[in-house]
Amino acid sequence: MSRRRKAVIAVTSAVAVALGASVMLLLPLFVGPAIPAEATRLHIATSTAPLTFGCATALLSPVRVASSDDELIVLSVESGAPVKLVWPSGFAAWRIGGQSVLADPWGHIVGRDGDVLDSLGGGMGTDDAFHVCPFGIVTKP
């Protein structure tokens, strides 16, 4: 086998591996995390898959995670009123053992019933909802 052919095979293999790794890392943004065993889905509003790596820089006032029927909601810590949020693409919510859980696209827990989320950035959309920026969201253990 010639050196040129070996080089072409090596470069093609490296590109295939890099492309496969990229797909595996980005796929959760489109499909979200797998639902855990014995969990039921809760509805949340999510945005479409991000086409840019930028977002608004407003900071949302602290909110508390809660649920209402089959929907995960957040309530203003100050007033107790529901806050209309749109989560980034791939986020999901479940009820596990009676407790609501919010997870990022890779399955890391962002908040549970009663947790206060005080570091959500983003901005208001044309739908009068606060669109949460996918960057800098703190996850919980």
- Given a contact cutoff of 8 angstroms between Cβ atoms, the answer to whether 100 and 72 are in contact is yes
pLDDT at 95: 95
Interval 50-83: pLDDT, tens: 666 778 888 999 999 999 999 999 999 999 999 9
What distance in Å separates the CA atoms of residue 41 and residue 124, rounded to the nearest whole number?
26
The edge-to-edge listing of strands for the beta sheet with 121-124 is 58-59, 121-124, 130-132, 85-86
Which pTM value belongs to this model? 0.76
- Given a contact cutoff of 8 angstroms between Cβ atoms, the answer to whether 72 and 42 are in contact is yes
